[in-house]
Structure 1
């Protein structure tokens, strides 16, 4: 069995190194620590950690709460918040992102281990529940739960999907919008190959694409943005020079 891969995001390097040493002693695989939002994003994209430990206060324009939202919306893996103190406003932001665990500095080795294992366990439970309680994907359709009933939506009728924090908005050719609790990444990976990711917040059904340039896709008069990290692959897949 492979080791759990952990990313530590902490702007104080002495603390970051100490956490990494503790994690290695506990038997985890530890990535090179990141000190800010941008470094963390690069590490996540290249290394795909199983869980992240995020200091709330980070240097730079975006802090640990911003990073947590990005993880939740784009990458969908668990995280733990780490901080020494936080004001009331920050605590409210933390509550909205709903972390599976929260550690206050200084902490004990056993507390760190328990928080990691509980966060991983809670995440696994939520993933299993989400596939049953929120949506069921079959060969040519998706059943979305709304008001205690599963409604069938044919995949061919889906125009595009849009990420909205912990939800995915599903837009159809009938100009209907449906809401699924979950991540765009997880749902997109389970859709057929005529669904392409165009942006961190959008996945489109190319069968309903009316026009395209390097900046956006036109679908029924609506411009769907093309992110720079997705542009080359998208244009290559649909053979646009």
Structure 2
């Protein structure tokens, strides 16, 4: 299966602003799950579509504003919410805080700031759920003090049965089951699916340690494979999706332990 795009719901009462934002995010590689200008439509779109992040304007059409709408939506499922608003008075901020937003952007905002907010939202949401799931964040920079707000910052994180891989400005969502194998080359790895390769600055040991996916097994100093995707193997190599990958002498015994020979 191909990588899944991050799905974003935009709730904004100014149609021109909403469409401009949608176009910019789609260009970056995100998928727009829908655009709403009122609470009822926003809740319906959220219920009918898979939504990973919500961009929520506070001032929307109807009796319920964006904060009220966020409260109702969060009763259905917890997702990161990024508020977009021109209202920065104390009363509004206090109401927003009670919904535990992932980020807050005051208008006018730039697409760059929205990108950064989405980046942080995915990060913070994973951290908040780390104790309830296996979510882990792996900064790929050796310098841990690097500015985390940079839209160019590379990263990978795991949440439940998915990993999120930073690809240019956008995260892409990969099911762990769809991962075929990982190939290491010096300080870089290639995460390979049937549809695409993702090149990251990370060691193979770091990846295996941090995402902790038991089906991803080391077979060579340069390769780890998803044993669920192996088509055939012998003592020298495995075949996955017509790729023949070598089994290293030092990894053969451990690899064979994953199979019950009777």
- The corresponding residue for 2:74 is 72
1:21 counterpart (10, 23, 33): 23
Query: 2:8 touches 2:30 (CA, 8 Å); kept in 1?
Result: yes
Query: 2:21 touches 2:111 (CA, 8 Å); kept in 1?
Result: no
- The corresponding residue for 1:43 is 45
- The corresponding residue for 2:111 is 109
Matched, 1:95 2:136: no
- The corresponding residue for 2:84 is 82
Please list the CA deviations of residues 32-56 of structure 1 after superposition, one character each: whole Å capped at 9, or x if unmatched: 3101100000100101211110001
- The corresponding residue for 1:126 is 128
Q: TM-score, normalised by structure 2?
A: 0.48
Deviation at 1:6, TM superposition (A): 0.4
Deviation at 1:116, TM superposition (A): 0.5
Q: Secondary structure, in 3 states, of the residue corresponding to 1:128? A: coil
Larger radius of gyration: 2
Q: Which runs of no fewer than 5 residues in structure 2 stay unpaired?
A: 135-262
**123-132 or 9-18: bigger deviation:** 123-132
Count matched residues: 132
Deviation at 1:75, TM superposition (A): 1.3
Q: Secondary structure, in 3 states, of the residue corresponding to 1:60? A: coil
Q: Secondary structure, in 3 states, of the residue corresponding to 1:6? A: strand
Which structure has more relative contact order (CA 8 Å, sep 6+)? It is 2
Moved >3 Å (runs of 4+): none
- Distance in 1 between the 2:19 and 2:122 partners? 22
Matches within 5 A, 1:162-241: none
- Distance in 2 between the 1:41 and 1:86 partners? 24
Matches within 5 A, 1:132-143: none
- Distance in 1 between the 2:76 and 2:133 partners? 18
- Distance in 2 between the 1:32 and 1:95 partners? 25
Superposition RMSD in Å? 1.5
Q: Which runs of no fewer than 5 residues in structure 1 stay unpaired?
A: 133-241
- Higher fraction of helix: 1
Deviation at 1:131, TM superposition (A): 4.9
